[in-house]
Amino acid sequence: MPSSPDVTNHLALQRCSMQWRGFFQALAAEFAAALPPEDLRALMFRVGVRFAADHPLPVCATVEDLQRGMTAVWERIDWGWVDLTQEVGQLNIHHSLSPVSAALGPDHVQWSGGFLEGVYQSWFEQAGAGPLKVAQCAPADAWGCVHLQLAR
């Protein structure tokens, strides 16, 4: 990691193209002015479900297959990658380098993570996860790294 906060901030902002950043930040500000955070999170979840439907995974037999399939989607669109790790009673989902934070801005991390929740929820349902639910564990960091969990 760069030692200078200025370098870190600059590189983190590069996760979203300059041509789109102003548009997405204005859109996020309008959304935030019109809807409470819980409604925005639900909206972003639905957008994530729609994204997953448009980017279905191949049939996956193992967690490793799921991770490869998910990462293949993210890498095709330059949205980072995912690491899946199993623990007792849960599956940890660590998404690295999502551009959502850079695109929408740091003021909207309370609800913007709903997008990844929706994507991963839909993909796990497609894979047969049944009643398990995806939930974000903490806001995205400056680099767009997000920790989520799949559990009961």
Structural domain for 56, as ranges: 5-151
Confidence of residue 16 (pLDDT cuts 50, 70, 90): low
CATH number at residue 13: 3.30.1380.20
Kindly write down the DSSP assignment for every residue of 15-40, as one continuous string: TS-HHHHHHHHHHHHHHHHHS-HHHH
Put residue 97 in one of left, alpha, beta given phi > 0 → left and psi -120 to 50 → alpha: left
How many structural domains compose the chain?
1
Question: At residue 2, does pLDDT exceed 60?
Answer: no
Tens of pLDDT, residue by residue over 66-123, are: 999 999 999 999 999 999 999 999 999 999 989 888 788 888 888 999 999 999 999 9
Tens of pLDDT, residue by residue over 19-31, are: 788 899 999 999 9
| Cα→Cα distances 132→19, 68, 90, 117, 124, Å | 38, 20, 9, 12, 8
| Total Cβ atoms within 10 A of residue 91 | 19
Q: Give the tokens for residue 4.
A: 């200078």
pTM above 0.75, yes or no: yes
Q: Residue 65: which of 9, 147, 114, 128 has the closest Cα?
A: 128
